[in-house]
């Protein structure tokens, strides 16, 4: 995937139609005073991001379930869960 396009808010307003097409190729980061205020991504990319978040949440839950009541798990347990 190509590097994101960074564009100011004012320019983004005038180029909205073009930017909607652009997000099929790469994310668009909208800036105000050189600080990110919004991002545009394609629906496919957004779905992949949500899926990845869900996968990571599942991994965290699995790791948490392996900790004993003292909040400790052995390295062996963690490595086994990772495989």
**Same domain flag for 29 and 54:** no
pLDDT digit string (tens) for 25-56?
999 999 999 999 999 999 999 999 999 999 99
**Same domain flag for 9 and 35:** yes
**Same domain flag for 52 and 71:** yes
With a CB cutoff of 8 Å and minimum separation 6, the contacts of 7 are 15, 19, 28, 29, 30, 31
The strands making up 5-8's β-sheet, listed across from edge to edge, are 5-8, 28-32, 35-40
**Same domain flag for 53 and 78:** yes
Overall average pLDDT of the 68-78 stretch: 61
**Same domain flag for 37 and 9:** yes
């Amino acid at each position: 995937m190509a590097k994101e396009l960074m564009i100011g808010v004012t320019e983004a307003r005038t180029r909205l139609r073009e930017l909607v097409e652009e997000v099929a190729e790469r994310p668009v980061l909208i800036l105000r005073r050189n600080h990110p205020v919004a991002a545009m991504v394609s629906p496919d990319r957004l779905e992949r991001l949500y899926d990845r978040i869900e996968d990571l949440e599942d991994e965290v839950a699995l790791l948490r379930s392996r900790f004993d009541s003292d909040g400790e798990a052995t390295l062996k347990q963690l490595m086994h869960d990772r495989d």
